[in-house]
């Protein structure tokens, strides 16, 4: 079992470079036959991942938006379709793209800290979660819960996250890593070939929806993110973040 620690301080935002590094790292582990599973966790205190890097989506060229979105798609496709057992040890806040990354995993363990909320909160920023974000969440928590969570941009604190099913276990913070390792050991008792084929069968339809529409999805993202109104709301949000840091 490999432990992959996200380290892009201060909040593990998924920049273009970081997305690319994550995919390369997973590929290396998949190609090394001595690894059967990966625990995904954070090396940044209090934050698992703050999600997509808004600076990659603000005040840049359409070509850059397209390149960035292709990298987001690639991360999701690689993690969602990985043959390895992937378990998230969520040891910090986990909104938006951070949540999406954990949803690609086979199992999720969340630290019991009221500040560590998890969810797809895109609507709160005036952004619409793409269909494959929606599909991934819906597969985990069901249609009605996903519809409510996505429209309201909900971030679930640990007890609610467990209740809605967006995570599988909530444990004291100091036990997150050990619990994730215990969970992965259980998943690895199943013969790899049978588990991998079953995982592929369960996930094929969801993955295929994006694979067959990748270019159209990129174009939709670029045209949406390039709108003046969206750029203005992103700029306002980034300015508010800067003021908070001050």
Q: Tell me which residues are annotated as active site.
A: 52, 97, 121-122
- Environment class of 242 (CB within 10 Å of its CB; exposed 0-12, middle 13-18, buried 19+): exposed
Q: Edge-to-edge strands of the sheet including 2-6?
A: 2-6, 37-42, 85-90, 107-111, 169-171
Residue reference for tokens 């369960």: 202
3-class state of residue 93 by DSSP = strand
Are 106 and 199 in contact by the 8 Å Cβ rule? The answer is: yes
Residue reference for tokens 């997509």: 52
Which spans in the chain are helix H? 16-31, 62-80, 96-103, 131-141, 143-152, 158-164, 176-187, 192-211, 214-225, 228-245
Alpha-carbon separation of residue 10 from 43, 91, 242 (angstroms): 10, 14, 13
Give the count of beta carbons closer than 10 Å to the beta carbon of residue 75: 21
- Taking the C-alpha atoms of residue 225 and residue 227, their distance in angstroms, rounded to an integer, is 6
- Taking the C-alpha atoms of residue 51 and residue 99, their distance in angstroms, rounded to an integer, is 7
């Amino acid at each position: 079992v490999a432990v992959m620690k996200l380290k892009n301080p201060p909040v593990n935002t998924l920049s273009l470079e970081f997305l690319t590094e994550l995919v390369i790292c997973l590929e290396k582990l998949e190609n090394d036959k001595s690894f059967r599973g990966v625990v995904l966790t954070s090396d940044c205190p209090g934050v698992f991942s703050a999600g997509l890097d808004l600076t990659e989506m603000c005040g840049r060229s359409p070509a850059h938006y397209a390149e960035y979105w292709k990298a987001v798609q690639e991360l999701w496709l690689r993690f969602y379709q990985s043959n390895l057992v992937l378990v998230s040890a969520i040891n910090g806040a986990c909104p938006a793209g951070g949540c999406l990354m954990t949803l690609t995993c086979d199992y999720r363990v969340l630290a019991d800290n009221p500040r560590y909320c998890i969810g797809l909160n895109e609507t709160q920023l005036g952004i619409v979660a793409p269909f494959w974000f929606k599909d991934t969440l819906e597969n985990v928590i069901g249609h009605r819960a996903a519809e409510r969570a996505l429209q309201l941009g909900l971030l679930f604190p640990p007890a609610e996250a467990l209740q809605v099913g967006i995570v599988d276990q909530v444990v004291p913070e100091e036990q997150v890593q050990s619990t994730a390792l215990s969970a992965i050991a259980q998943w690895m008792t199943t013969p790899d070939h049978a588990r991998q084929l079953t995982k592929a069968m369960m996930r094929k339809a969801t993955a295929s929806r994006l694979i067959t529409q990748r270019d159209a999805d990129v174009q939709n993202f670029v045209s949406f993110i390039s709108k003046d109104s969206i750029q203005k709301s992103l700029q306002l949000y980034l300015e508010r973040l800067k003021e908070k840091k001050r």
